[in-house]
Homo-oligomer: A and B are copies of this chain.
Amino acid sequence: MSDSVGCLYGLGVGPGDPELITVKALRILRSTDVIAYPASENNQKSLARAIASEYIKPEQIEIPLYFPFKLDRSSEPYYQKAATTLAEYLDRGDNVVVLCEGDPFFYGSFMYIYNLLMNRYPIEVVPGVSSMMAAAACLGSPLTYRNDTCVVVSAILPAEVLKSKLAVADAAVIIKLGKNFTKVVAVLKELGLCDRAKYIEKATTQEQKIIAIASVNPTKVPYFATIVVPSESKFK
């Protein structure tokens, strides 16, 4: 019997290459008995678990947390359920790790769990390498210089909204491309940014693809595809 509750860790496992996990996240992952991760409700796949798989030992308890792909009010009960599951372990005094793709607080589903449990348990968040930095590195595209403004947008936004957000950017990263590729490219053309734009899928994973914008097949763009518009600034 434990006198005190366990600690919840949100661990950034990085963008895809297992070696891009931090030394700190790896230490905590290896020394914690209970390992949770977001998994798709449909196919039960977990990208976060796949990234960390070589570090997980058979004796560790694994808890897939099923979240629907769509995120709106209807998905709230799934996060409530996940929080309740984790709370059972934490109440027992077990420490629990939640594996997070990229960084836990940058477009991560862990944030909803964090908000539900932050007042009840000690939580430590270990930041990770974000896919936006990984994309720039893999593309060989220095992203932001000096006093540049960097704008990160979701491709899901309507064209006019995207245009207004990207208009203030020296450098931009457009995430969650999927079916929105054609719309995004049209916006970039309108803004005169298309010549600088570079496309990458699944940066740092074994499935990574870099394709010239003009050669991308818009019907085959995955959700984890990104367009990077690096800044032009150099010395000035």
Chain A positions within 8 Å of B, measured between CB atoms, are 12, 14-15, 17-24, 26-27, 71-73, 75-76, 103-108, 111-112, 114-115, 118, 123, 125-130, 133-134, 136-137, 140-154, 156-157, 164-165, 167-168, 176, 204, 234-236
Contacts and interface: CB of A to CB of B under 8 A. Distances in A.
Contacts of A114: 140, 142
A164 B168 CA distance: 8
B137 A105 contact: yes
B152 A15 contact: no
- What is the count of identical protomers in the complex? 2
12 contacts: A12-B129, A22-B22, A71-B146, A105-B133, A107-B144, A114-B140, A115-B142, A127-B133, A127-B204, A128-B129, A130-B130, A149-B153
Contact of A12 (B133, B141, B143, B149): B133
A235 B12 contact: no
